Amino acid sequence: MGSFPLGFFGAMTPPSSKKPQLLIVELWGLGDLVIATPFLRAALQKFNITVVAKPYAKELQSRLWPGASVIPFVAPWTVFRRKYRIHRWPWREMFRLQREVRGKGFDVGVSARWDPRDHFLLAFAGVKERFGFPRIGSQIFLSKALDRPEAAAHRYENWRTLGRAIGIELPARENIVVPKRNGGDAGEILVHTGAGQQVRVWPLESYRALVAHLRQGQCRVRVVCDPDQRDWWLRNGESDVATPRSVAELFVLLDHASALIGNDSGPGHLAAVMGVPTFTIFGPQLPEWFAPLHPVAKWLDGKACPYKPCSDYCRFARPVCLEGWAEAEVWPRIESFVKEASA
């Protein structure tokens, strides 16, 4: 690894000195990017940071990481299907990204994923010092190959490990401080029924029964869904269903929420870092890896399946890990969560 100037990582750097340039690569989903928020906020104290991420990162930046810069980029290998049709990759866009990053002269670059494509991107873009978790030989693209946290560790632990490598100490997950909410139980309970992939969606009919239970308990409930679910909810009597089509619209809903109940998806992670208590119904993924970063977050693990975690490529016609949960089994846990969240 190359050497850094004296005080590069610590308080010895004079207040008037120029901050080093840090490039952060997180090319995947909304939830993945939101989990990086504690790292990004801490890094802003020591670095000028730029995040390469999907375009919605620009909407996150103004609320979650003011002071950061964003380079929007949709990596072709992050699509769900047919990701390796290399002849269809946006090569012009990729070379444009290379020129832009090289022009900024980044001192340090990091990726929290053990993904050779991220590591190649850091080297391809000419970042001087590159930190990451190697896989299948990708250490050749890294200046410093880091040991991954233990297999059962939450994804946030990758960011903590990266932080320590560049002189940033992040709190343990249970000690993360989230914004305090005003109004408590005066806000709406959002029931968000969407997810990035269908295999993560608890059946809408089960959600409808859950919403009815909450309203019978005098809770104010707002159903929030993905665009492809909207007609179903309208047909089933939910006239005020919200269908946010951007992160900005989702922020507006979360600003008035007292809790969020939903699938393993980006809105739950965003709610948590905004201080909104969450209850997550997991399916193919593991809560110990992806539970939202909120001190009172609760969840329901998916039913047992020999293929979990399956990275959303289900081997069955229907996701048994989710559809195996009856509403009658889920409701008592939701009821307990709502009481605790409104206390």
How do the domains of the chain map onto residue ranges?
21-175, 184-341
The yes-or-no answer to whether 21-175 and 184-341 have a common fold is yes
Per-position pLDDT tens, the chain of length 343: 343 332 333 333 334 358 999 999 999 899 999 999 999 999 999 999 999 999 999 999 999 999 999 999 987 766 555 555 666 677 787 888 888 888 888 999 999 999 898 998 899 889 999 999 999 999 999 999 999 999 899 999 999 999 999 999 999 999 998 887 764 445 899 999 999 888 899 999 999 999 999 999 999 999 999 999 999 999 999 999 999 999 999 999 999 999 999 999 999 999 999 999 999 999 999 999 999 999 989 999 999 988 888 877 888 888 888 888 888 899 999 999 998 887 7
User: What Å distances lie between residue 267 and 23, 90, 202, 259, 321, CA to CA?
Assistant: 25, 28, 15, 12, 21
User: What Å distances lie between residue 261 and 11, 59, 182, 282, CA to CA?
Assistant: 42, 23, 19, 11
Nearest to 222 by CA among 248, 255, 186, 260: 260
CATH topology of domain 21-175: Rossmann fold (3.40.50)
Question: How many CB atoms are closer than 10 A to CB 304?
Answer: 9
Residues paired with 340 in a beta bridge: none
Question: How many CB atoms are closer than 10 A to CB 12?
Answer: 10
Residues paired with 110 in a beta bridge: 24, 131
CATH 3.40.50.2000 fits 184-341, yes or no: yes
Half-sphere exposure of 238 (CA within 13 A, CB side): 25
Cβ within 8 Å of residue 88, ≥6 positions away: 76
